[in-house]
Structure 1
Amino acid sequence: MRALILFLALLCLSPFASAAAYEDAIGVTFPDEVSGFQFRRRETFSQKALGAATGYLHAGPVQGTVYVYTGGLSSIPEGTDSAIVRKHFAQVIGEVKQMEAPGLASKVTVPSTPGQVTHLAGCGPQFIWKGYDMELDGAQLVSYTYMTVVRNNFVKLRISYLKSNPTGRADADRFIEGVRKVIGRC
């Protein structure tokens, strides 16, 4: 219930509420707009290991959030191929399914296939990613989690949209490309 309320609350924010957010941990500024997604919020977590989250919203609605954090690790290899990154990604995806137990979501469907690695052309990092479906208060959502490592920090992207949104996947792909260029300083 709280997750759907948060998702809907983001939709109600003023379209004029925007401000660039500098992420010191990876040395980039997340702009007011990324590929048609408008900046909505930035949250810095009280535990330093949890880092910060920068949220964006696109009409449709499609919500994208960028998380930058260390998870308490002092050294994290760049990219997507290390055992550390693969293990952490599996843990993050496992937490999605666990959302059912406390009633945060229902009908969570996570494919048993392993995460895939992007092969995107041009500037910016590649990501390991996986998609899944869930229901929040009767709303059917499609979500994706993407992860890479930049400057000893996990960079996790979570994108969600209503399953009934015919442009949701295309919008999500544009967001991934846009964030990739931001963090790649392209």
Structure 2
Amino acid sequence: MRPLILLLALCCLSPFASATAYEDAIGVTFPDEIGGLQLRGRETFPQKALGAATRYVLDGPVQGSVYVYTGGLSSIPDGTESAIVRKHFAQVIGEVKQMAAPGLANRVTVPSTPDQTTSLGGCGPQFIWKGYEMELDGTVLASYTYLTVVRNNFVKLRVSYLKSNAAGRATADRFIEGVRKVVGRC
């Protein structure tokens, strides 16, 4: 009888258990939820320079990922203004544009407008960012890539949602602001 009671108690507690993902490269713990998106796991890439990705989702669907990596560089200035960061961001956006070529996306539309830099108030780093659209299997997604540097690591955010989702951009903004506070240890 005692093992049965223990099993029932564990089953009842599981919905209240909190999962987190620790990112030792920048010394932060990503919580089980950011901006309404739920943690879905952390993947460490085989090449150390590629670092790790922590993924979040919200039904609707909205997906967000946080990538922390060095890209093989030994020294990366914090923030968004250095030539190294600007060059890397151009490379990242170039990779987005090339997604249609190998068939990963049916269509990718990246506007020719200049990259933007956030000017968010309060605690946390600022990001360079760019928005674009992708069509995957007939579904059009609005997507955004954000980049900054924290503790000698690139921190790249990707967030996507159905373009037809009226609340998608607001949810994406909450996710970005939440990640910013986590990364900034606010």
Q: Quick check: TM above 0.5?
A: yes
- Residues 18 and 39, structure 1, Cα contact 8 Å, conserved in 2: no
Quote the residue 1:62 is aligned against.
Answer: 62
How far apart are the structure 1 equivalents of 2:27 and 2:45? 18
Deviation at 1:18, TM superposition (A): 6.3
How far residue 114 of structure 1 moved from its aligned partner, in angstroms, is: 1.9
Instruction: Find the counterpart in structure 1 of residue 19 from structure 2.
Output: 19
- Please list every run of 5 or more consecutive structure 1 residues that lacks an aligned counterpart in the other structure: 1-14
Aligned to 2:83: 83
Q: Structure 1 stretch 150-159 or stretch 104-113: which is displaced more?
A: 104-113
What number of residue pairs does the alignment pair up? 172
* 1:127-138 pair list within 5 angstroms: 127-138=127-138
State the alpha-carbon separation in 2 of the partners of residues 94 and 18 from structure 1: 37
Deviations 1:159-185 (A, max 9, x none): 000111010000000000000000000
The amino acid across from 1:48 in the alignment is: K
Within a 5 Å distance, the mapping from 1:1-186 to structure 2 comes to 19-186=19-186
Give the Cα–Cα distance (whole angstroms) in 1 for the partners of residues 104 and 179 of structure 2.
Answer: 27
Which of 1 and 2 has greater Rg?
Answer: 2
- TM-score (structure 2 length as normaliser): 0.90
Cα gap change, 1:22 to 1:183, in 2 (>3 Å): same
1:17–1:40 Cα contact (<8 Å) kept: no
Residue of structure 2 equivalent to 1:12: none
Q: Which amino acid in structure 2 is aligned with residue 138 of structure 1? A: G
Q: 1:36–1:58: 8 Å Cα contact kept in structure 2?
A: yes
- Which 4+ runs in 1 deviate beyond 6 A? 15-18
- Give the secondary structure class of the aligned counterpart of 1:133: strand
What TM-score results when the alignment is normalised by the length of structure 1?
0.90
Quick check: 172-181 or 103-112, which moved more? 103-112
Cα distance, 1:57 vs structure 2: 0.7
| Amino acid paired to 1:91 | Q
- Identity, % of aligned positions: 82
The Cα of 1:59 is off from its aligned counterpart by: 2.6
Distance 1:93 1:83 in 2: 15
What is the CA–CA distance in structure 2 between the aligned matches of 1:48 and 1:57, rounded to whole Å?
Answer: 25
